[in-house]
Amino acid sequence: MNPQAKLISTMSLLLGTTITISSNHWAMAWTGLEINTLAILPLISKPHHPRAIEATTKYFLTQAAASTLLLFSSTTNALFTGQWDITQLTHPISCLLLTTAISIKLGLVPFHFWFPEVLQGSSLTTGLLLATVMKFPPITLILLTSPSLNHTLLFIMAISSAALGGWMGLNQTQIRKVLAFSSISHLGWMTIIIIYNPKLTLITFYLYCLMTAAIFLTLKTTKILKLSSMMTAWTKIPSLSATLMLALLSLAGLPPLTGFLPKWLIIQELTKQEMTSAATIIALLSLLGLFFYLRLAYCATITLPPNSSNYMKQWQTNKPVNTLTTTLIALTITLLPLSPMTYTIP
């Protein structure tokens, strides 16, 4: 890809995200989302492969439909109430349309079908952007409008996302699809608590981005795309493969790793809100995700294929590990022990 075109796409991505998260008017928020969508399209189609072109087309059509719904929602609200302010969404039809639009943009169940396919057709760097940066503007909008959204619909989609994200990830052999369904499952955790504690949703999203970035950068360094290729990853950079197992277990939410913190706080908050049944259901559904994370960790560090002496030559790697990757992995593993154990949700 032309360096100038890559720079323009990256800067437009940052600009669109900044416009959306800092706007107070629906027109500006919509403009930022459109800039974001148009900026990421060249990055998805960069590999010049039929699968990449297919992923670009799917992403464009899905995001265009979601943006149209969002614009229609805000226009309907302005027509009936005269308000263009993001926090003043009060009309019932507008609230329902906005809930649907943001769910499509995030990839919540039942609007999740596009996300695994788009992630599979993208490179690992673009996949990281799709799984983290591109979800920040919709998460911001859902935080600002959380009191107005359809609570019943959000709750159903949250439980469905946690269930389907774990269930569909069980039989995947492509790492990017596994991470896509992992993202859908984590979105279920964020959505179920947003009505009661929006700040906790933001904390969960930040920690999810941290853990996902660590795993994507590790996969990029070791050039792992399939489950079968994880078995020989230890021969390239043994230390990084060992920490990859801990990063995967952190994303699964096992204590005492960082990923346990958001799940612990969400279950605690749901219990405080007297939603013990919901807390129990979503905790049990997380076991589905735990299974395929354990399978990935098992393949990465414990399973060894029939090997020869040729594998041993790869121990002397000439490729240094990026400082950013090691920093993110360290935070992914150690952030929970470093966090204050007396943390209370305000």
Each residue's pLDDT, cut to its tens digit, for the chain (346 residues) gives 778 888 898 899 999 999 999 988 899 999 999 999 999 999 998 888 889 999 999 999 999 999 999 999 999 989 888 888 888 888 888 889 999 999 999 999 889 999 999 999 999 999 999 999 999 999 999 998 888 888 888 899 999 999 999 898 888 888 999 999 999 999 999 999 998 988 899 999 999 999 999 999 988 888 888 887 777 777 677 777 788 888 888 998 888 888 898 999 999 999 999 899 999 999 999 998 888 888 888 877 776 655 555 554 455 555 667 788 888 888 888 887 666 654 554 4
CA atoms of 177 and 200, how far apart (whole Å): 27
Are 213 and 328 in contact by the 8 Å Cβ rule? The answer is yes
Out of 92, 114, 149, a domain closes at 149
Q: DSSP letter for 269, please.
A: H
CA atoms of 57 and 52, how far apart (whole Å): 9
Report which residue type is found at 12: S
The helix (run of H) or strand (run of E) holding residue 293 is helix 276-301
CA atoms of 88 and 118, how far apart (whole Å): 34
Are 165 and 188 in contact by the 8 Å Cβ rule? The answer is yes
- Looking at the fold, whether 93 and 158 belong to one and the same domain comes out as no
Q: HSE on the CB side for 267, CA within 13 Å? A: 14
Q: What is the pLDDT of residue 333?
A: 86
CA atoms of 112 and 184, how far apart (whole Å): 7
- Looking at the fold, whether 184 and 222 belong to one and the same domain comes out as yes
Strand partners, 174: 226
Q: How far is CA 313 from CA 221, 229, 235, in A?
A: 18, 17, 8
Tally of domains within the chain? 2
Q: What is the pLDDT of residue 305?
A: 57
Q: What is the pLDDT of residue 193?
A: 92
- Looking at the fold, whether 3 and 120 belong to one and the same domain comes out as yes
- Looking at the fold, whether 33 and 116 belong to one and the same domain comes out as yes
Out of 102, 119, 149, a domain closes at 149
- Looking at the fold, whether 138 and 164 belong to one and the same domain comes out as no
Residue 184's Cβ-count burial label (10 Å; 0-12, 13-18, 19+) is: buried
Report which residue type is found at 65: A
- Looking at the fold, whether 226 and 329 belong to one and the same domain comes out as yes
Question: Both tokens of residue 252?
Answer: 């699964």
Which domain range does residue 277 map to? 153-346
CB burial string 68-91: b at 16+ within 10 A, e below:
ebbbebbbbbbeeeebbebebbeb
Residues in the chain, total: 346
Summary count for the chain: helices (H), strands (E): 15, 0
Q: What is the pLDDT of residue 307?
A: 56
- Looking at the fold, whether 83 and 165 belong to one and the same domain comes out as no
Are 73 and 67 in contact by the 8 Å Cβ rule? The answer is no
Q: What is the pLDDT of residue 241?
A: 78
- Looking at the fold, whether 45 and 87 belong to one and the same domain comes out as yes
- Looking at the fold, whether 49 and 85 belong to one and the same domain comes out as yes
Q: What is the pLDDT of residue 330?
A: 86
Out of 149, 174, 203, a domain closes at 149
- Looking at the fold, whether 163 and 129 belong to one and the same domain comes out as no
- Looking at the fold, whether 171 and 228 belong to one and the same domain comes out as yes
Q: Is 321 helix (H, G, I), strand (E, B) or coil?
A: coil
Q: HSE on the CB side for 19, CA within 13 Å? A: 18
Q: How far is CA 13 from CA 27, 147, 149, 215, in A?
A: 18, 28, 27, 22
- Per DSSP (E only), the strands in the chain are none
Are 47 and 123 in contact by the 8 Å Cβ rule? The answer is yes
Question: Both tokens of residue 1?
Answer: 């890809």
- Looking at the fold, whether 160 and 136 belong to one and the same domain comes out as no
